[in-house]
Amino acid sequence: MGIPQYFSTTYAEARQKFLEAARAAGAVSLEAHVNPNAKGANGEELALDVARFGERDAENLLIVCSGTHGNEGFCGSGCQIGLIKEGVIDARPRTVAMLLAHAVNPYGFSHVRRVTEDNVDLNRNFQDFSKPLPENPRYAEIHDLLVPSDWDGPGRAAAEAALAAWRDANGGMPAYQAVVAGGQYGFPDGLFFGGRRAAWSNETFRAIVKKHGAAAKRVAVIDIHSGLGPAGYGEPISILASEAPGFARAQGWWGEEVTSTSEGTSKSPPVTGPLIGSIEESLPGAEATAIGLEFGTVALPEVLEAIRGDNWLYARGLKAGLAIDSALARDIKTKIRDALFVDADDWREKVCARTADFALKAYRGLTSEISR
């Protein structure tokens, strides 16, 4: 089995490959957290699977996540299997335990969507819902244009013209990306919707981190994403300000390539409620060093367009009677798949090697004196 074979074309195939690889490599525990609220695209069970390697009371823990954004799991799952198959798990120091969280959002992975079964962008959902939620008034200006009445008729055409005019008047594509993708809490059928309460994937992930991180003094997290930046390059993204100790640590471990959403050095705009922001809340006694590892695919306008199309399909198209196997729906699904995964072996090899490199550097960081 070579590197390209670590990757799959369905969630069910990815799950099976992951479980087989983890079992064969001697995972000390394998947990299936079954989603009780949804089924897969082919009626299959949906689960967030967790494989643990290493001692129960290890003082260092490395967590690698895939599928926080659903079908971005086609990238992350293959990378996780690569960690197992290419000897990276076996290379870890004795004091480091490793946790692979496979398909954090299994619904989106199976249905080839970024969002959860509640149309929630899970990486905007790690909020304190007892407090007022962030506001995104500029999103409200363009919501109706982002989700037009039709996707291949006059409604879409009018929306495109109006969106182009909005971009011209408001700072172009960077401003558009920040408003659309930053996160919003006002429109449950809209894009990058952060939810009104913790999603199942959120609650489940927090419980996993609390359980498996209970004995850890130091925790590193690599949350694998795809869709932003140059094809095949993995941008290490911190959410911390440059003066935060966790940011300096991330750059010390992974190099000056580590960018920050809060400093504006990342391809990602600042986002509200990201998953890696929850680690310190879940494990207040541990030193957390967390990044998103964001692999580039295709150009940003294409990615945003594909996400819009998929949102339209579920918010409007299917509800109006459009069949999921119609030509229009199949075209939308092909585009959202291809926006977040590049079907080329050299891309698969690059993302796999980059993830391995980042895991090895995390071992070094977790066990080095400078981290203490």
Cβ 168 to Zn ion shortest distance, Å: 28
Min CB(67)–Zn ion separation in Å:
9
Q: Which is nearer to Zn ion, 35 or 105 (CB)?
A: 105
Residue 194: phi and psi, rounded to 5, are -85, -5
Least Å distance, CB 90 to Zn ion, is 29
80 contacts 14 by C-beta, under 8 angstroms: no
User: Which range binds Zn ion by CB under 5 A, 52-60, 72-80, 212-220, 268-276?
Assistant: 72-80
Residue from 13, 106, 12 nearest 68 by CA:
106
Annotate 232-269 with DSSP letters as a single string: T-EEEEE-S-TTSHHHHHHHHHH-TT-EETTTT-SSSP
Q: Environment class of residue 306 by beta-carbon count within 10 Å: exposed (0-12), middle (13-18) or buried (19+)?
A: buried
Q: Which is nearer to Zn ion, 181 or 209 (CB)?
A: 181
Phi, psi dihedral angles at 276 (to 5 degrees): -65, -15
Residue whose CB is less far from Zn ion, 69 or 85: 69
Binding mask 317-346 for Zn ion (x = CB under 5 A): ------------------------------
What span, in angstroms and rounded, lies between the C-alpha atoms of 91 and 340? 30
Which residues have C-beta within 8 Å of that of residue 159, sequence separation ≥ 6?
A: 144, 145, 146, 148
Give residues 83-112 in contact with Zn ion (rule: CB under 5 A).
Answer: none
Residue with Cβ nearer Zn ion (72 or 118):
72
Q: Residue 122's closest CA among 204, 51, 64, 42?
A: 204
* CB 192, min distance to Zn ion, A: 11
Q: Which amino acid is at 345?
A: D
The tokens for 76 are 């992350």
* β-bridge pairing 234-238 and 60-65: unpaired
Beta bridge partners of 290: 221
Q: Which C-beta is closer to Zn ion: that of 225 or that of 335?
A: 225
Supply the minimum distance, in Å, between the C-beta of residue 237 and Zn ion: 10
Instruction: Please list the alpha-helical segments (H only) found in the chain.
Output: 11-24, 73-85, 106-111, 137-146, 154-169, 172-181, 200-212, 245-254, 279-282, 300-312, 327-339, 345-367
CB of 199 to Zn ion, least distance (A): 15
Select 145 or 339, whichever has its Cβ closest to Zn ion.
Answer: 339
Count CB-CB contacts under 10 A for residue 43. Answer: 7
Question: Smaller CB distance to Zn ion: residue 59 or 302?
Answer: 302
Of 32-71, binders to Zn ion (CB under 5 A) are 69
Binding-site size, Zn ion (CB under 5 A): 3
Task: Kindly state the smallest distance separating residue 189's Cβ from Zn ion, in Å.
Answer: 20
SS3 231: strand
Task: Show the binding pattern over residues 204-243: x = contacts Zn ion (CB under 5 A), - = does not.
Answer: ---------------------x------------------
> Minimum distance between the CB of residue 56 and Zn ion, rounded to whole angstroms?
31
Minimal CB distance to Zn ion: which residue? Answer: 225
Any contact of residue 113 with Zn ion (CB under 5 A)? no
Distance of closest approach, residue 223 Cβ to Zn ion, in angstroms: 8
> In terms of Cα–Cα distance, which of 228, 233, 261 is closest to 339?
228
Whichever of 69 and 212 has its CB closer to Zn ion, that residue is 69
Q: Which is nearer to Zn ion, 209 or 224 (CB)?
A: 224
CA torsion through residues 164, 166, 168, 173, sign: negative
User: Based on CB atoms, which residue is closest to Zn ion, 15 or 225?
Assistant: 225
CB of 71 to Zn ion, least distance (A): 10
List of residues contacting Zn ion (CB under 5 A): 69, 72, 225
